[in-house]
């Protein structure tokens, strides 16, 4: 019991939880925007890889950290545009297109990395984002170290939660996005473009997903590894359902997840000799499955999710 | 006195879908303050015409012109709902175009404010409130649309158009989903709006309400304009002839010989009380050789009765009895094996698998029978043979047994379903909206088949929103309201007014209220 | 003149074949861009790939060897997708099949060869099938999306396998390598031709394709799967047991992926390790889509994808271009065949339009 208390009372634990949650916040927000508009984007896993690789490579080649963030977002937007073309314009299966985008973005990233850096034996490093200390606040007990060990990208993620929530619930654009994911006919009958809204949402959402990947190589670590995304994208898809497509709950879900993950890492240090390490590593995936199973029945799915739309269509 | 100004004019609109001419050179004018009824059978081309006017379809020929604020008649670019909206044309579709996850207020605002702005929610609310006060379209603006009644949703739809300063309002079959009271309320609103200068086009296939509300009537038949007359000149007989064209051979109904009760509902309850699908303490009997009508306004529990008779639902309490024996653990397959024939309400969605062939769709209910399969292997020859005889016997127009069912017209899909369920000489038949959306020829054919099955000794339950259809078929009436079924008695002793009152929830014994 | 789209009533067989063929070729053509970006001559690269995949008896054997698990995972995806059951978990099912094969066939049961091979195949089929039946049941019982669950299970399974081969199943004679105890000789698939790696797993794959083809065309189950996949509501209304049919599909689909794992263990490696499959499960999705979900087509598509992998490996060794090029071709094939599906549903028509 004391072990557990020690873990939860440690500011470092909470700092780690927030760090682990950050890429998920980006990813869940991105997936949420796409799905609110009625498009499932299973390209997320590959877009994470593309964001991680493109952002890192841009910095490695001298673009500067924020230049890297921008490049990562552009890479994500590009794959989002492809997904939108296939699913929104051509009306093809969102499932299959998303898997295709993941395969393409992953292989394109790996290929680019290998082609650009053919002769490296160990992954080269960049100087990543550094934690920003706010004088005064950082010295607060507990909260200070937990919150102010974070980099600007984490703050960006938190600000984005507020922005996405505001746009979704407080502006005409958000109104239109929520409407197009529920009943595209309502949007068309009011003279708005179903396709325009959906394409926009998928592109923006995909750019956010890519930022989740960029966080991995530019803040959490300082290099790009094969397999480093490791299912984080899929976890985001499960978290969106868990969050009922609401930005606030998405933040909460990502933080809970981060806390759990940080917890299992520390638990592993404590009882790792008795229980094989893989048991701990399995936990995030099993937790996501459990979350999905528990909320699925009650989930308020956007009604038009997965449904292609052709102009003037009746139902 | 000069005529009011023309608001809208359609000039020689023609629209073809493949070989079908849905609209053939149709012209019409609509004036200020006028309610114009567009009357016609299903498939006469009314909805197509309005979808062209509103920009959902692009016409092959012809022009749509709308009067601008300055008084010029400007032609509308085809295929642009946005342009129609901007020109002041508002449309209320048969299937509402509302986002159910938003409030009524947000649905009305949708698309009226710049997307990249903070919006003008408070201003919008003030203006909508004043429109509500002016028009009498009372509705709670802050509730999620999903939680509104059908009538309230329709009011939101009309408010959407008025909020955009519509000068022309098109309503597609607006009363199909309303109670008579709600419909009367709608007519009051429409008259008031027209008095304020709005032009209204009212699409319907119901004669009575058209005569009640409109100033002028235009009749469409087979995609062509069949006639046009003022409401004052019109009489029922003349309009009916215009709608139908040459007299269709009446289906004659001879009195049947009624036998013993085959199926019995005994105090059946299902679902959460006071929801649109709940049933409360329903008891009735279906007897051999008898057609029983289940009349009622849609959404009063008919779908649940149909689900029970299809095997898709089981009662929460109470019993279904077949030949006096309680039926437990019903399922679609068990009912089929017990001699039930089931015609689904939504025949395209529940009745056929569009990408499977006609032969496969005819075989689908008993593909595991020894006739059609052995040891898990299909007997394709038997399927083919059965399909060929069914196609011939039921006059299913299709390229052949191997054609995919999605290529069939609505009428032919229904004939396919009839062939599937009636060939096995069922004892109990559920005919749920058996002729909805069918042309008159196909309707008569379906009615003939149902009557023939009754004469053979089957017990039939017909569920329909069309009272004329029920009177044409039924020996006896049941009426459903708010999940309760009342016995209305033999068809010969009933008239439409009595049924109408029961449909509105007034019991037999109470004195009919005035109006 | 303007371009317009008309829905197609039928997509004839030749058109469907053409779409798959064009999609594969288009994917190959598109990778000319990255090849050139990598500073190589694309024609040379294609030639090297073709030689690497088909240029000798050895190359052909390698290609067919690589195609063997892809046939099975392709069939797994095809049968599931036909029923609109989105099984993206073939990778995990493959490993579970392989695990079951090792547990049954590594000497724990003393069986003669004629029984040992059927025993490991049955065990692998059931283990893989179970791995798909679980998500299918979660979907029916809780409404949980099978796509995400099967995807996440892939990660769980691979960790589970790592745990076992570093623990209870670890081969003490493997000099510390994380790999399982080997299969006994009786439980191993024979080579088809001496000194070439092709093995009896290929025959298993071909027979599975034939059985599946027969099932689709001739059996009540195939009929019911089609009805459930194309229109669940109508199938249910007509009395087809939708849930039970879906579970059968899940068992068959997962089982086929499990057989792929058995085949890799019994035919190639002889033991289980965490690098048994370089993504055969995911490539199976591409195989199935390229095949238009046809069982026979899956065999051809699997050979194509296998040739791309084998050819790219060989080309990579000669030119230094990264062999991730093969993964690029595979991903592009999937997207191209998806776009091709659009042309199966619509036909493009030029029409002249008189301005009214």
- Inter-CA distances, B393 with B160, B404, B422, C68, C131, Å: 50, 19, 11, 51, 49
Q: What are phi and psi of B311, to 5 degrees?
A: 85, 10
Q: Chains meeting C at 3+ CB pairs closer than 8 A? A: A, B
- The shortest CB-CB distance from A99 to any of C149, C152, C285 is to C285
End-to-end CA distance of chain C: 14
pLDDT exceeds 80 at position B249? no
- Using the beta-carbon criterion (under 8 Å), do B351 and C237 form an inter-chain contact? yes
CB-count burial class (<10 Å; 0-12, 13-18, 19+) for C50 = middle
pLDDT of residue C106: 87
| Three-state SS at B485 | strand
Mean pLDDT for B180-208 is 87
- CA B260/CA B6 separation, integer angstroms: 63
What tokens does A215 get?
Answer: 């966080």
End-to-end CA distance of chain A: 58
**For residue B320, what pLDDT band results from cuts at 50, 70 and 90?**
very high
pLDDT of residue C355: 36
Q: Chain A interface, mutation test: which of B15, B103, B111, most A Cβ atoms within 10 Å?
A: B111
Which residue's structure tokens are 């879900």?
A253
pLDDT exceeds 70 at position C338? yes
- Using the beta-carbon criterion (under 8 Å), do B353 and C235 form an inter-chain contact? yes
Closest CA to B58 of A78, C145, A312: A312
How many CB atoms are closer than 10 A to CB C325? Answer: 29
Residue, of C75 and B50, whose pLDDT is higher? C75
Whether B58 and chain C come into contact, CB under 8 Å, resolves to no
Q: Which helix (H) or strand (E) holds B443?
A: helix B440-455
pLDDT of residue A314: 45
* Most confidently predicted of B214-218, B229-233, C98-102, C176-180: C98-102
Q: Chain A interface, mutation test: which of B110, B148, B349, most A Cβ atoms within 10 Å?
A: B110
Mean of the per-residue pLDDT values of chain B: 87
Low-confidence stretches of chain A (pLDDT < 50) are 314-315
Whether B352 and chain C come into contact, CB under 8 Å, resolves to yes
pLDDT tens per residue across span A115-167: 999 877 788 999 999 888 777 777 777 777 777 778 899 999 999 999 999 99
Looking at beta carbons, which residues of chain A come within 8 Å of C163? Answer: 276, 278-279
- CA A14/CA A259 separation, integer angstroms: 7
Q: Chains meeting A at 3+ CB pairs closer than 8 A? A: B, C
Please state which of the four CATH numbers 3.40.50.300, 3.40.50.10490, 3.40.50.620, 3.50.50.60 is assigned to the domain occupying B6-244.
3.40.50.300
Beta-bridge mates of residue B479: B295, B486
**For residue B513, what pLDDT band results from cuts at 50, 70 and 90?**
very low
Whether B112 and chain A come into contact, CB under 8 Å, resolves to yes
In contact, C308 and C88? CB cutoff 8 Å: no
In contact, A58 and A67? CB cutoff 8 Å: yes
Looking at beta carbons, which residues of chain A come within 8 Å of B107? Answer: 179, 186
- Using the beta-carbon criterion (under 8 Å), do B97 and A183 form an inter-chain contact? yes
**Domains and their CATH numbers in chain A:** 2-117+137-295 (1.10.3470)
In contact, C342 and C328? CB cutoff 8 Å: no
- Using the beta-carbon criterion (under 8 Å), do C159 and A278 form an inter-chain contact? yes
pLDDT of residue B498: 84
What tokens does B358 get?
Answer: 């006609």
b vs e for B123-138, b when ≥16 Cβ sit within 10 Å of the residue's Cβ?
ebeeebeeebeebebe
- CA B466/CA C29 separation, integer angstroms: 61
Looking at beta carbons, which residues of chain B come within 8 Å of C224? Answer: 367
- Using the beta-carbon criterion (under 8 Å), do C322 and A106 form an inter-chain contact? no
- The shortest CB-CB distance from B353 to any of C219, C231, C356 is to C231
Instruction: Identify the CATH number of the domain defined by range B261-352+408-503.
Output: 3.40.50.300
Q: How far is the alpha carbon of B108 from chain A, nearest alpha carbon, in Å?
A: 9
Which residue's structure tokens are 């009839």?
B418
Q: What is the ipTM of this complex?
A: 0.93
CATH class of C2-351: mainly alpha
B296: left (phi over 0), alpha (psi -120 to 50) or beta: left
Whether B349 and chain C come into contact, CB under 8 Å, resolves to yes
DSSP character at residue A235:
H
- Using the beta-carbon criterion (under 8 Å), do B119 and A179 form an inter-chain contact? no
- The shortest CB-CB distance from A279 to any of C88, C163, C327 is to C163
- Using the beta-carbon criterion (under 8 Å), do C220 and B376 form an inter-chain contact? yes
Instruction: Quote the distance between the C-alpha of residue B337 and its chain's center.
Output: 31
| Residue ranges covered by each domain of chain B | 6-244, 261-352+408-503
Whether B356 and chain C come into contact, CB under 8 Å, resolves to yes
In contact, C22 and C339? CB cutoff 8 Å: no
- The shortest CB-CB distance from B350 to any of C9, C224, C234 is to C234
Lowest mean pLDDT among B396-405, C233-242, C331-340: B396-405
In contact, A30 and A37? CB cutoff 8 Å: no
pLDDT tens per residue across span C135-185: 999 999 999 999 999 999 999 999 999 999 998 888 888 877 889 989 998
**Could you tell me whether strands B428-432 and B340-343 are parallel, antiparallel, or unpaired per DSSP bridges?**
parallel
**Could you tell me whether strands B35-40 and B199-204 are parallel, antiparallel, or unpaired per DSSP bridges?**
parallel
What percentage of chain C carries pLDDT values higher than 90? 78
- CA B291/CA B355 separation, integer angstroms: 34
Mean of the per-residue pLDDT values of chain C: 92
- Using the beta-carbon criterion (under 8 Å), do A96 and C289 form an inter-chain contact? yes
Instruction: Quote the distance between the C-alpha of residue A165 and its chain's center.
Output: 16
State which residue of chain A sits closest to B96, comparing Cα positions. A186
| Residue ranges covered by each domain of chain C | 2-351
- The shortest CB-CB distance from A186 to any of B85, B97, B116 is to B97
- The shortest CB-CB distance from B95 to any of A188, A311, A314 is to A314
pLDDT of residue C113: 75
Torsion of CA C40, C44, C47, C52, to 10 degrees: -50
**Could you tell me whether strands C346-351 and C2-7 are parallel, antiparallel, or unpaired per DSSP bridges?**
antiparallel
- CA C90/CA B203 separation, integer angstroms: 54
Looking at beta carbons, which residues of chain B come within 8 Å of C238? Answer: 332, 364-365
């Amino acid at each position: 019991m004391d072990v557990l208390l020690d873990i939860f009372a440690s500011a470092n634990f909470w700092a780690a939880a927030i760090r682990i949650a950050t890429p998920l916040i980006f990813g869940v927000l991105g997936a949420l925007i796409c799905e609110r508009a009625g498009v499932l984007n299973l390209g997320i896993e590959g877009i994470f890889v593309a964001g991680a690789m493109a952002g890192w490579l841009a910095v490695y080649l001298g673009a500067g950290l924020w230049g890297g963030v921008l490049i990562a977002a552009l890479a994500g937007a590009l794959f989002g545009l492809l997904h939108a073309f296939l699913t929104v314009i051509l009306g093809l299966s969102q499932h299959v297109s998303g898997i295709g985008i993941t395969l393409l973005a992953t292989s394109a990233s790996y290929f680019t990395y290998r082609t650009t850096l053919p002769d490296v034996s160990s992954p080269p490093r960049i100087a990543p984002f550094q934690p920003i200390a706010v004088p005064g606040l950082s010295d607060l007990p507990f909260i200070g170290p937990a919150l102010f060990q974070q980099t600007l990208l984490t703050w960006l993620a938190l600000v984005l939660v507020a922005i996405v929530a505001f746009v979704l619930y407080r502006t005409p654009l958000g109104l239109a996005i929520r409407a197009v994911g529920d009943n595209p006919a309502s949007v068309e009958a009011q003279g708005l473009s179903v396709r325009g809204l959906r394409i926009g949402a998928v592109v923006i959402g995909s750019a956010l997903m890519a930022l989740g990947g960029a966080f991995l190589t530019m803040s959490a670590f300082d290099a790009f590894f094969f397999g480093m995304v490791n299912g984080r994208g899929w976890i985001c898809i499960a978290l969106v359902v868990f969050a009922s497509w609401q930005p606030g709950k998405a933040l909460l879900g990502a933080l809970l997840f981060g806390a759990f993950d940080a917890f299992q890492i520390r638990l592993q240090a404590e009882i790792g000799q008795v229980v094989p390490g893989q048991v701990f590593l399995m936990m995030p995936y099993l937790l996501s499955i459990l979350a999905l199973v528990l909320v699925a029945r009650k989930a308020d799915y956007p009604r038009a999710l997965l449904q292609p739309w052709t102009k003037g269509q009746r139902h | 006195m000069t005529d009011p100004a023309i608001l809208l004019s359609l000039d020689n609109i023609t629209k073809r879908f493949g070989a079908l001419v849905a609209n053939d050179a149709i012209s019409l004018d609509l004036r200020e303050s006028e309610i114009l009824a567009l009357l016609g059978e299903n498939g006469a081309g009314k909805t197509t015409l309005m979808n062209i006017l509103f920009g959902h379809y692009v016409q092959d020929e012809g022009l749509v012109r709308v009067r601008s604020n300055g008084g010029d008649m400007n032609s509308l670019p085809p295929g642009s709902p946005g342009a129609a909206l901007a020109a002041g044309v508002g449309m209320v579709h048969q299937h509402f175009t509302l986002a159910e996850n938003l409030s009524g207020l947000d649905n009305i605002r949708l698309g009226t404010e710049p997307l990249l702005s903070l919006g003008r929610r408070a201003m919008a609310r003030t203006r909508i409130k004043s429109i509500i006060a002016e028009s009498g379209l009372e509705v709670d603006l802050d509730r999620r649309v999903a939680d509104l009644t059908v009538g309230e949703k329709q009011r939101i739809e009309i408010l959407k158009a008025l909020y955009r300063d519509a000068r022309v309002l098109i309503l597609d079959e607006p009363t199909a989903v309303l109670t008579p009271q709600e419909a009367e309320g709608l007519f009051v609103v429409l008259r008031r709006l027209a008095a304020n200068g709005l032009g209204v086009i009212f699409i319907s296939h119901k004669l009575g309400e058209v005569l009640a509300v409109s100033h002028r009537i235009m009749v469409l038949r087979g995609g062509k304009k069949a006639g046009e007359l003022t409401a004052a000149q019109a009489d029922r007989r003349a309009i009916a002839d215009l709608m139908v064209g040459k007299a269709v051979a009446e289906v004659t109904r001879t009195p049947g010989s009624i036998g013993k009760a085959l199926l019995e509902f005994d105090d059946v309850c299902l679902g959460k009380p006071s929801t649109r699908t709940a049933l409360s303490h329903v008891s009735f009997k279906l007897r051999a050789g008898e057609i029983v009508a289940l009349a009622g306004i849609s959404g009063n529990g008919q779908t649940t009765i149909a689900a029970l008779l299809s095997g898709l639902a089981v009662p929460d309490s109470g019993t279904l009895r077949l030949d006096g024996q309680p039926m437990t653990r019903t399922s679609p397959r068990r009912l089929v094996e017990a001699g039930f024939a089931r015609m689904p309400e939504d025949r395209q969605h529940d009745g056929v698998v569009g990408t499977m062939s006609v032969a496969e769709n005819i075989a689908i209910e008993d593909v595991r029978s020894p006739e059609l399969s052995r040891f898990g292997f299909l007997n394709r020859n038997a399927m083919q043979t059965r399909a060929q005889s069914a196609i011939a016997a039921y006059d299913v127009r299709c390229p052949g047994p191997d054609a995919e069912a999605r290529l069939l017209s609505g009428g032919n899909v229904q004939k396919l379903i009839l062939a599937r369920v009636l060939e096995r000489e069922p004892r109990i038949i559920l005919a749920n909206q058996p002729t909805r959306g069918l042309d008159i020829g196909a309707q008569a054919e379906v009615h003939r088949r149902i009557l023939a099955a009754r004469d053979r000794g089957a017990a039939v339950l017909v569920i329909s929103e069309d009272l004329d259809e029920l009177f044409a078929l039924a020996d006896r009436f049941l009426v459903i309201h708010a999940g309760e079924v009342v016995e209305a008695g033999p068809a010969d002793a009933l008239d439409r007014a009595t049924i109408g009152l029961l449909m509105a929830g007034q019991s037999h014994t109470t004195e009919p209220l005035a109006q | 003149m303007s371009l317009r789209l008309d829905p197609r009533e039928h997509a004839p067989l030749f058109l469907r074949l053409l779409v798959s063929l064009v999609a594969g070729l288009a994917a190959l053509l598109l990778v000319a861009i990255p090849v050139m970006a990598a500073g190589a001559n694309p024609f040379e690269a294609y030639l090297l790939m073709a030689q690497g995949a088909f240029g000798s008896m050895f190359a052909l054997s390698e290609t067919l060897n690589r195609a063997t698990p892809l046939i099975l995972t392709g069939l797994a995806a095809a049968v599931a997708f036909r029923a609109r059951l989105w099984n993206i978990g073939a990778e995990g099912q493959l490993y579970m099949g392989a695990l079951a094969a090792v547990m049954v066939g590594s000497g724990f049961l003393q069986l003669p060869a004629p029984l040992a091979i059927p025993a490991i195949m049955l065990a692998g089929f059931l283990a893989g099938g179970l791995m798909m039946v679980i998500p299918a049941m979660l979907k029916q019982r809780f409404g949980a999306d099978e796509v995400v669950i099967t995807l996440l299970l892939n990660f769980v399974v691979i960790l589970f396998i790592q745990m076992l081969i570093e623990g209870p199943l670890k081969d003490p004679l493997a000099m510390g390598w994380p790999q399982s105890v080997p299969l006994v000789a009786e439980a191993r698939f024979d080579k088809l031709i001496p000194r070439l790696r092709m093995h009896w797993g290929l025959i298993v794959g071909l027979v599975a394709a034939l059985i599946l083809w027969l099932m689709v065309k001739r059996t009540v189950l195939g009929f019911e799967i089609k009805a459930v996949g194309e229109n669940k509501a109508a199938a249910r209304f007509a009395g087809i047991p939708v849930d039970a049919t879906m579970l059968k599909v899940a068992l068959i689909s997962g089982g086929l992926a499990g057989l792929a794992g058995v085949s890799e263990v019994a035919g190639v490696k002889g033991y289980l390790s965490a690098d048994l499959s370089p993504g055969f499960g995911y490539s199976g999705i591409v195989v199935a889509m390229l095949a238009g979900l046809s069982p026979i087509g899956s065999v051809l598509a699997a050979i194509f994808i296998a040739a791309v992998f084998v050819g790219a490996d060989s080309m990579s060794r000669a030119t230094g271009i990264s062999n991730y090029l093969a993964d690029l071709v595979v991903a592009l094939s999937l997207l191209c065949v998806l776009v091709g599906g659009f042309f199966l549903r619509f036909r493009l028509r030029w029409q002249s339009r008189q301005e009214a």
